[in-house]
A = this chain, B = another copy of it.
Amino acid sequence: MDHQIFVDALDTPSIIIDLDIMERNIASMQAHCDALGLAFRPHIKTHKIPAIAHLQLEAGAAGIACQKVSEAEVFAAAGIDDIQIPYNIVGAHKTARLANLAAYNRISVTADSEETIDGLSAAARAAGVPLRVLVELESELHRAGAPVERAVSLAQKIAADEHLHFAGVMIYPSDVSVRPTLQEALRRLDQAGIGVDVVSGGGTGAALHAAEVPELTELRVGTYVFNDWATVTKSCAAPEDCAMSIRTAIVSRPTPDRAILDAGSKSLSSDNSGGVYGHIVEFPAARIYRLNEEHAFVDLSACSGRPEVGDVVHVIPDHVCVAMNLHDEAHGVRNGLVEVTWPIAARGRVH
């Protein structure tokens, strides 16, 4: 017993992962994709921890997705082979590193412009390694992505490039509303005689409705592994499906209805849903209404009990992915004991 680490001994703020819940989440999303006949490609932006990616692959995932070349390097170094970067990789330095990765790993990447494709082609040629490129379609998010006609023309450009392989289409999020776009793109690509290996969709909400978009061949989902308070707010998960919380201490009780926590925007991030920054497990009626960097402002007025200075509570953050990115390590716990402490190896990989 002396050589066990009790959760209660962990300093605040610290990231706690409930391993039972996480394992259940990994199994259920994999079963969901298996039932739909979809390849599952977990997005590692949520956890940024290679050991968790390996658990996802052991459960049946086909590969992973990440957003940056420098993230892909972390996971490639941890022995993960199939890595997709659903992002325009732009700039000679980044494309060279991407092409280097492709020499040892099965790498795919996306593009939504001729400039991106030209850069990928030049890097693939220089490295002597072909690159697999999907075209990103525009969704109702109106972020990156090309409309169908331009996407087909980009696909033709990729298919005609001797250093690139056209690998399919990608869209985010793949809500049911995108189905006409996908159908039109696939019809036009077929007319153009261009083969489509992969139709890649993504998003935690979209995953629940993936059966209604049968054109998809694979799903990229990240948040499901932990879930967060935004996922709960959107009715995509229940509170008991939230595996990650931040252990934090009450450091001030200036008034009967106000508490201050030692987890502020430097631990939880400033992301919020309608002004709510997270959920306090022990005081579900409490409301985190404001964050400074090292202070969370909590309104206790609706609570039956009151925490005291020094008490420890657990906050499920609004947005788990950005909260993970703020910490250097996460503690996997079960039955009140720390089973594993993982470095968040891909934290801060901005390049």
Taking Cβ atoms with an 8 Å cutoff, the residues of A that contact B are 11-14, 45, 67-68, 87-91, 93-94, 112-113, 115-116, 119, 138, 142-146, 249-254, 258, 260, 262-263, 265-267, 269-271, 292-295, 297, 308-310, 321-322, 325-328, 347-348, 350-351
Chain B residues closer than 8 Å to A253, beta-carbon distance = 113
Chain A contact residues: helix, strand, loop or mixed: loop
**Copies of this subunit:** 2
Smallest CB separation, A138 vs chain B (Å): 6
Q: Residue of B at shortest CB range from A136?
A: B252
Chain B residues closer than 8 Å to A294, beta-carbon distance = 45, 67-68, 87
On whether A309 and B68 interact (CB within 8 A), knowing A325-B266, A350-B327, the answer reads no
Q: Is the CB of B327 within 8 A of A326?
A: no
Q: Is the CB of B90 within 8 A of A143?
A: no
Q: Residue of B at shortest CB range from A246?
A: B350
CA distance A270 to B67 in the complex (A): 18
Smallest CB separation, A123 vs chain B (Å): 13
Q: Is the CB of A252 within 8 A of B326?
A: no
Smallest CB separation, A330 vs chain B (Å): 12
On whether A351 and B11 interact (CB within 8 A), knowing A91-B310, A309-B88, the answer reads yes
Residue of B266, B267, B322 near A265 (CB, 8 A) is B322
Q: Is the CB of A326 within 8 A of B309?
A: no
